[in-house]
């Protein structure tokens, strides 16, 4: 006998509603939940693969401990917590709070354990919080810190006349809404609907992506050329009066500095450098600058490329001068629910440059924190530094930083030198293999979760609570219990605060103090975490397909008085970075091609890479290359190639792909292995070998270059 249970998929930011068919505590079928008012039945192959993942394909069914000889043995959850807590106590007593650190991975964000871990770290007194945010898009945080921010944010595909989508492919990544305004699930349909009502879509991407194919205008530039492009567009807009003068006067400062800084970026120069028609640039500048509601934003592409901080800064300055924000009088389609909603008054949060304040990194005094985190680009240095305050113990939650960070010659020895590495992951990833303890966690359909972290990812106010649909296998340890158990043994009081993306523990008001004697009920914890929600927990529970309440429309009001806060359009450090961009950049010589990032529908970073359904479609991650490049590099007929950068090489299977820009190749990340010596493994090609954590890092956030890496490709 089987039963149907409603829940939502937790594999990616689309968080689609799904329906599980469960028999004997196993999932036997997964379908999209048509009654979910937000996703309306939409789901993808990864939602389907999650069935095999829960049922055991590729899954750890018990926690593990590494023995002296390097082999792993099973360990029960309580013993694991005892041993980890004792080791932590020893390290803390000997070396103080800064010896302990936390890395929050992709699958940590939506869990109860993420906010609880932040509370634990706060009790310990360590500032060492790291996450994937600083290896995928911290340029956005640096932009907030240098320019400022408008909390009522930008237009989405529901409202915009023009949307400009830069380095973002939401049709595959299902992640557009918070960045570029494109709906996360069913992005293709959302784009088609928006264009039918008249919206124009401009895409900036080196590849003819699934999203670019649906665009009115596609600017196919090289990775890393975004700053040049946006400097040129700003130049055109200012010189032709195609910008929002009233908005600039009231809400921005440093306009003259901006005007001066972009002066040399003439349409002639920019068109020549980017290989675009001047008329095209002019068309884009005019379309965007004269539209009533136009917004421009970036995904991860330009945030991972050459000059990522400058690129995002220029893109956001372009958006700001054109008034690319919802303004007084505009309605906010989704003001948020579980996180309590946003204030309905237009405001600017001015540049705050938090990284200039204490605390600083121990390996580099020029690096401080943004949004309460240190950049992951320096994590290896923070471990190997000779400072007495170096990191000696690291907890990794739902991530695989050894692979994700790249530069294995630096990353792997750093992780190997830790006194304590604990990884919470259902698979024996590279990071798990280097760990002293691997915690086999309960998987999503076995957990209590709610969509608080996804609050801003929905188009309309929406929230969902998911109680467990399955009982976890006996050997696993739900990750929040790990954190609670450690805190209890170390004598700390945990405090649960809302899971709000990017909010540091101390920036949030007081939370709920957990019972540290008797293990709390996780459902009760979710209820307490949602205390500031605009809908009651009972209402949430009464809507198993998710709750989309009718709420009073939020219309943005003018602020009553001028608080003096302005968006800084061209700070001095940005002007210096932009001036340097005038110097011509051109890959060439030994490494004439640019390696770009690319995501596959079947995988979520390293997750599902080894799943049967994925391998059927992708035996390995191929190197995508334009047919003209294949010919130009004498690779016609080659099956295997060697991809080499100044930092390392990998072999890869070659795949012809006319959607690539000639001169640009792409290889998906998190395949292969950072640990195996051979440059190629049956698991695929590890792109991290081609990147460097030693040179070319951005200032302020130490962001490495994962896109626009100079490479050569030759026959194997
Ligand atoms: N199916 C699937 N979905 C995912 C993931 C996955 O692995 N698979 N990963 C998830 C994660 S962790 C994230 S962060 C999001 C990312 O979501 P997205 O940012 O949408 O990621 P991509 O699909 O890689 O799209 C980035 C685009 O940037 C382009 N690009 C590369 N370099 C540059 C550049 O310098 N300038 C410009 N303008 N464009 C550039 C690439 O060609 C690519 O099309 O996706 C999430 N969703
Ligand atoms: N060269 C190169 N490097 C890159 C990128 C690139 O484009 N090129 N992209 C970057 C990006 S965007 C990111 S976000 C990072 C990825 O960085 P990570 O987040 O470190 O990598 P993932 O592979 O997503 O790791 C997620 C882990 O969570 C585990 N997991 C799955 N479900 C659960 C669960 O329910 N609970 C727990 N506890 N664990 C679970 C999975 O098994 C997986 O090992 O890599 C970055 N690195
Ligand atoms: S798009 Fe796919 S992976 Fe993402 S939430 Fe929906 S079903 Fe899950
Ligand atoms: Mo990411």
**Cα(101) to centroid(ligand 4), Å:** 20
Residues in the chain, pLDDT under 50: none
Pocket test for ligand 3, best of 6, 8, 9 (most atoms within 8 A of CB): 9
| 3-state SS record for 651-673 | EEEEEECCCCCCCEEECCCCCCC
Per DSSP, the residues of 325-387 read S--TT-EES---STT----SB---EE---GGGSSP--SS-TT---BTTB--GGGHHHHHH--S
**Confidence (pLDDT) at 293:** 98
What strands lie across the sheet with 200-204, from one edge to the other? 217-219, 200-204, 162-166, 294-298
Query: Ligand 3 in contact with 305 (CB < 6 A)?
Result: no
Query: Ligand 3 in contact with 114 (CB < 6 A)?
Result: no
Query: Ligand 3 in contact with 44 (CB < 6 A)?
Result: yes
In 429-543, alpha helices (H): 430-433, 479-490, 522-529, 537-541
Pocket test for ligand 3, best of 16, 51, 603 (most atoms within 8 A of CB): 16
- Residue 649 dihedral angles phi and psi, to the nearest 5°: -140, 155
Q: Where are the beta strands (DSSP E) in 24-159?
A: 26-32, 63-66, 72-75, 100-104, 129-131, 148-149
**Confidence (pLDDT) at 151:** 93
CA-closest residue to ligand 3 atom 4 = 12
**Which residues 6+ apart lie within 8 Å of 347 measured at CB?**
150, 151, 152, 559, 563, 565
Please state, in angstroms and rounded to a whole number, the distance separating the CA atoms of residues 86 and 576. Answer: 50
Ligand at minimal distance from the CA of 14 is 3
| 3-state SS record for 153-183 | CCCCCCCCCEEEEECCCHHHHCCCHHHHCCC
The SS3 of residue 113 is helix
Q: Is 71 exposed, middle or buried (0-12, 13-18, 19+ CB in 10 A)?
A: exposed
Which ligand 1 atom is nearest residue 207's CA?
42
Please state, in angstroms and rounded to a whole number, the distance separating the CA atoms of residues 313 and 87. Answer: 44
Contact yes or no for 271/621 (Cβ under 8 A):
no
CA 193 to chain centre: 26
**Confidence (pLDDT) at 288:** 98
Query: Ligand 2 in contact with 607 (CB < 6 A)?
Result: yes
Query: Ligand 3 in contact with 185 (CB < 6 A)?
Result: yes
- Residues 139-195 have pLDDT tens digits of 999 999 999 999 999 999 999 999 999 999 999 999 999 999 999 999 999 999 999
- Pair of tokens at residue 269: 């120069």
Pocket test for ligand 2, best of 11, 47, 403, 425 (most atoms within 8 A of CB): 425
Query: Ligand 2 in contact with 426 (CB < 6 A)?
Result: yes
Ligand at minimal distance from the CA of 18 is 3
Q: Is 39 exposed, middle or buried (0-12, 13-18, 19+ CB in 10 A)?
A: buried
**Confidence (pLDDT) at 499:** 87
Q: Is 0.95 topped by the overall pTM?
A: yes
Q: Is 606 exposed, middle or buried (0-12, 13-18, 19+ CB in 10 A)?
A: buried
The count of C-alpha atoms lying within 13 angstroms of the C-alpha of 656, restricted to the half-sphere facing its C-beta, is 11
- Pair of tokens at residue 369: 């924190």
Please state, in angstroms and rounded to a whole number, the distance separating the CA atoms of residues 641 and 635. Answer: 8
CA-closest residue to ligand 3 atom 5 = 15
CA-closest residue to ligand 2 atom 10 = 136
Q: Which of 43, 50, 1 is nearest to 18 (CA)?
A: 43
Query: Ligand 3 in contact with 390 (CB < 6 A)?
Result: no
Please state, in angstroms and rounded to a whole number, the distance separating the CA atoms of residues 691 and 400. Answer: 16
**Confidence (pLDDT) at 680:** 54
**Cα(665) to centroid(ligand 3), Å:** 27
Which ligand 3 atom is nearest residue 32's CA?
7
Q: Is 50 exposed, middle or buried (0-12, 13-18, 19+ CB in 10 A)?
A: buried
Please state, in angstroms and rounded to a whole number, the distance separating the CA atoms of residues 593 and 652. Answer: 15
């Amino acid at each position: 006998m089987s039963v149907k249970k409603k829940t939502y998929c937790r594999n990616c930011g689309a968080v689609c509603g799904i329906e599980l068919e469960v028999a004997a505590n196993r999932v036997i079928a997964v379908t999209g939940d048509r009654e979910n008012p937000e996703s309306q039945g939409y789901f993808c192959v990864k939602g389907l693969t999650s069935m095999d993942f829960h049922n055991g394909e590729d899954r750890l069914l018990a926690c593990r401990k590494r023995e002296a000889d390097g082999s792993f043995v099973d360990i029960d959850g309580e013993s694991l917590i005892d041993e980890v807590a004792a080791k932590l106590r020893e390290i803390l007593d000997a070396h103080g709070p800064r010896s302990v650190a936390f890395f929050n991975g992709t699958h940590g964000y939506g869990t109860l354990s993420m906010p609880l871990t932040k509370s634990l770290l706060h009790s310990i007194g360590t500032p060492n919080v790291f996450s994937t945010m600083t290896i995928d898009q911290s340029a956005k945080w640096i932009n907030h810190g240098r320019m400022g921010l408008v909390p009522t944010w930008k237009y989405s595909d529901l409202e915009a006349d023009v949307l400009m989508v830069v380095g973002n492919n939401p049709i595959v990544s299902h992640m557009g809404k918070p960045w570029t305004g494109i709906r996360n699930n069913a992005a293709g349909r959302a784009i088609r609907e928006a264009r039918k009502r008249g919206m124009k879509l401009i895409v900036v991407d080196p590849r003819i992506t699934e999203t670019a194919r649906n665009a009115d205008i596609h600017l196919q530039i090289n990775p890393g050329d975004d700053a040049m492009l946006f400097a040129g567009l700003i130049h055109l807009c200012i010189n032709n009066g195609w910008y929002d003068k009233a908005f600039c006067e009231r809400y921005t400062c440093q306009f003259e500095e901006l005007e001066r800084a972009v002066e040399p970026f003439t349409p002639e120069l920019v068109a020549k450098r980017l290989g675009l028609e001047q008329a095209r640039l002019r068309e884009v500048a005019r379309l965007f600058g004269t539209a009533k509601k136009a917004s421009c934003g970036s995904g991860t592409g330009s945030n991972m490329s050459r000059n990522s901080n400058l690129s995002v800064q220029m893109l956001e300055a372009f958006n700001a001068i054109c008034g690319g924000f919802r303004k007084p009088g505009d309605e906010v389609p989704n003001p948020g629910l579980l996180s309590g909603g946003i204030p309905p008054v237009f405001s600017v949060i001015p540049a705050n440059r938090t990284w200039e304040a204490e605390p600083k990194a121990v390996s580099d005094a020029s690096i401080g924190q943004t949004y309460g985190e240190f950049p992951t680009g320096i994590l290896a240095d923070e471990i190997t530094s000779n400072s007495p305050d170096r990191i000696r113990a690291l907890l990794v939650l739902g991530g695989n930083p050894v692979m994700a960070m790249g530069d294995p010659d630096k990353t792997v020895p750093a992780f190997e030198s830790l006194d304590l590495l604990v990884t919470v992951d259902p698979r024996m990833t590279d990071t798990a293999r280097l760990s002293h303890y691997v915690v086999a966690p309960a998987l999503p359909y076995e957990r209590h979760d709610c969509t608080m972290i996804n609050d801003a990812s929905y188009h309309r106010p929406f929230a969902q609570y998911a109680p467990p649909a399955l009982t976890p296998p006996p050997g696993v340890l739900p990750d929040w219990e790990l954190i609670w158990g450690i805190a209890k043994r170390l004598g700390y009081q945990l405090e649960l605060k809302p899971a709000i993306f990017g909010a540091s523990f101390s920036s949030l008001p007081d939370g709920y103090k957990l019972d540290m004697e008797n293990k709390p009920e996780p459902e009760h914890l979710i209820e307490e975490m949602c205390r500031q929600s605009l809908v009651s927990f009972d209402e949430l529970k009464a809507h198993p397909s998710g709750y989309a309440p009718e709420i009073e429309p939020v219309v943005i009001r003018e602020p009553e008085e001028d608080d003096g806060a302005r968006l800084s359009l061209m700070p001095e450090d940005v002007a210096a970075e932009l001036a340097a961009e005038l110097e011509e950049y051109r890959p060439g010589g030994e490494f004439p091609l640019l390696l770009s990032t690319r995501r596959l529908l079947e995988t979520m970073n390293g997750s599902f890479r080894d799943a049967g359904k994925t391998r059927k479609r992708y035996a390995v991650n191929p190197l995508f290359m334009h047919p003209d490049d294949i010919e130009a590099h004498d690779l016609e007929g080659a099956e295997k190639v060697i991809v080499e950068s100044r930092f390392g090489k990998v072999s890869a299977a070659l795949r012809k792909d006319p959607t690539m820009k000639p001169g640009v190749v792409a290889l998906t990340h998190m395949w292969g292995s950072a640990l195996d010596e051979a440059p190629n493994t049956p698991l695929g090609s590890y792109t991290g070998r081609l990147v460097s954590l030693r040179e070319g890092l951005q200032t302020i956030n130490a962001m490495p270059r994962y896109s626009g890496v100079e490479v050569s490709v030759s026959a194997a």
